[in-house]
Amino acid sequence: MAANPLQNTFPPLRFDNAFVRELPGDPERGGRPRQVQALYTRVDPTPVLAPKLVAHSKEMAARLDFDEGLIELAEFAEVFAGNALLEGMEPYAANYGGHQFGQWAGQLGDGRAITLGELINAQGERWELQLKGAGLTPYSRTADGRAVLRSSIREFLCSEAMHHLGVPTTRALSLVTTGEKVVRDMFYDGNPRSEPGAIVCRVAPSFIRFGNFELPASRGDLELLTRLVDFTIRRDFPEHAQEPDVAKQREQWFADVCERTAYMVAHWMRVGFVHGVMNTDNMSILGLAIDYGPYGWIDNFDPNWTPNTTDAQGRRYRYGHQPQIAFWNLTRLASALLPLFKDEEPLQRGLQRFGEVFVATDRANAAAKLGFGTFADDDVDLLHSLYALLMSAEVDMTIFFRSLSEIDVNAPTLAPLEEAFYDEDKRKAAEPHFLAWLARYAQRVRADSLSPSERRKRMRSANPRYVLRNYLAQQAIDRAERGDYAGIHELLDVMRRPYDDQPGREHYAAKRPEWARERAGCSMLSCSS
């Protein structure tokens, strides 16, 4: 694809494509399916019929120095659907492997994601622009390289929602419909249907995953592995590149990856996010939430819940298991990196950081959620008895914690929490236990050093009023499939300020309605996207 006349519509952009410049790529270009003994393949997006911009993130656009006028133009949709390249873009698909549901799966790679380039913004920040659903690559295997509108809406909205919730995540710039149909068998039950296609432009400082390291390691290609590690430290972890002793540098880097992963997962737990497919190819080396597929949000508090129907049997990726899985994934990364270390010890020290940072972050989060100055050892029991109550009485996690700051600690009652219950019989049965718990809680709060206004402020900044509930995303999708995109825009706007009460938008904070309990898209999602 040649650089094109659309170029003049865009301001001059600075690309610095370090990944393809500094690392060895596939000698063959293009999307022919194959095993590749390199870190990426140069491949252009496959043009689509009729790209139309459906939504964009104002914040991300501003961060990339794209003004709102530019975004309205047809040229913008052309570029971010992959129909035209701008000067400086050098598209490629990355090669990686991964452990899927606990098993080594061999080469996977970007089967439908194509990176356009590494854009350097006016502030000097590096942002990799990546189209998801951009067509065939050597890593597409038997699939079509495309993405459907419903899953693209979900990825677009969740990327931005997580960012505004304060959870480290990849971002989304734009959502474009392609004007083409894509066929998917949503529940793999022999009922394929034709659905509208779409492309999301995802944005992150780096899309390198644990699986990028695992693949060369699995092939015994130490040279490629070493080059990727050195590159990643240099480009994405410049603070460690300062360390002249290479052994120390790599040890510090790995520990940093463990710390970031722990921090990320602790914040997933805080907001009730369930990723759904924590395979090692879906774990970012930067500790960002990445690859929003069959994810979900906790409505009634249930550590055993998973949104992913593909995982319904083993529930490997259930909400309450996410910290252990993140750790297991780090052990896979550690064993891929082992040949670069003298022995296991430095990696063990890094892995230990995971537990330390997870516990510290999780406790700080719990203190903020409950409105305590700090979390004391004695508070563990209080918290665990609350979790047990929330679970057995079927209580909405988000509404419960948000409403907890309304409790009068001098005369606690269940009144401010009524909205959080899903089942009247269960509420009645649990009432005496909740009252007992509230009495303990109120006593603990009264003994705390925080003033009432400080406490309220702290709680309201840790307990979102709005999260991207599964049924809300599904309602926006239903409307979009009828050609009405207003639901996406509204939801995106609500999720820009998830900690603020937004008058007139109370319905976006409502608990899951009964119709959504067992509905596809609301409580059950598959990997088909």
Q: Does 282 bind Mg ion (CB under 5 A)?
A: yes
Residue 45: contacted member of ligand AMP, Mg ion, none (CB under 5 to 8 Å, by partner type): none
The alpha-helical segments, DSSP class H, found in 322-376 are: 322-337, 345-370
* Dist CA 427 CA 434 (whole Å): 9
Minimum Å gap between C-beta 158 and ligand AMP is: 14
- Answer for which of 140, 206, 308, 365 binds ligand AMP (CB under 6 A) is 140
Residue 334's beta-bridge partner residues?
A: none
Return the SS3 of 175. Answer: strand
Q: Does 296 bind ligand AMP (CB under 6 A)?
A: no
Tokens of 243: 């360390």
Considering only residues 101 through 130, tell me which ones interact with ligand AMP, judged by CB under 6 A: 108-112
- Answer for which of 291, 299, 362, 448 binds Mg ion (CB under 5 A) is 291
Considering only residues 51 through 110, tell me which ones interact with ligand AMP, judged by CB under 6 A: 108-110
Q: Does 180 bind ligand AMP (CB under 6 A)?
A: no
Minimum Å gap between C-beta 310 and ligand AMP is: 9
Minimum Å gap between C-beta 86 and ligand AMP is: 24
Of 178 and 405, the one with the shorter C-beta distance to ligand AMP is: 178
Minimum Å gap between C-beta 460 and ligand AMP is: 35
Backbone angles phi, psi at 225, to 5 degrees: -60, -45
Q: Does 174 bind Mg ion (CB under 5 A)?
A: no
Which stretch, 60-68, 191-199, 277-285, 370-378, contacts ligand AMP (CB under 6 A)?
A: 277-285
Q: Does 291 bind ligand AMP (CB under 6 A)?
A: yes
Specify whether 44 is catalytic.
Answer: no
- Answer for which of 31, 51, 91, 145 binds ligand AMP (CB under 6 A) is 145
* Dist CA 305 CA 324 (whole Å): 15
Long-range contacts of 338-344 (CB under 8 A, 24+ apart): 339/217, 339/222, 339/225, 340/222, 340/225, 340/226, 340/229, 340/250, 341/247, 341/250, 341/251, 342/247
Amino acid identity, position 377: D
Of 175 and 290, the one with the shorter C-beta distance to Mg ion is: 290
Instruction: Spot the catalytic one: 230, 256, 281, 311.
Output: 281
Our CA angle for 427, 428, 434, nearest 5°, is: 65
Tokens of 26: 């596939």
How do strand 103-107 and strand 126-132 relate by DSSP bridges? unpaired
Q: How far is CA 353 from its chain centroid?
A: 22
The site for ligand AMP (CB under 6 A) is made up of: 108-112, 139-140, 143-146, 277, 281-282, 291, 293, 527
Active site members: 281
The site for Mg ion (CB under 5 A) is made up of: 282, 291
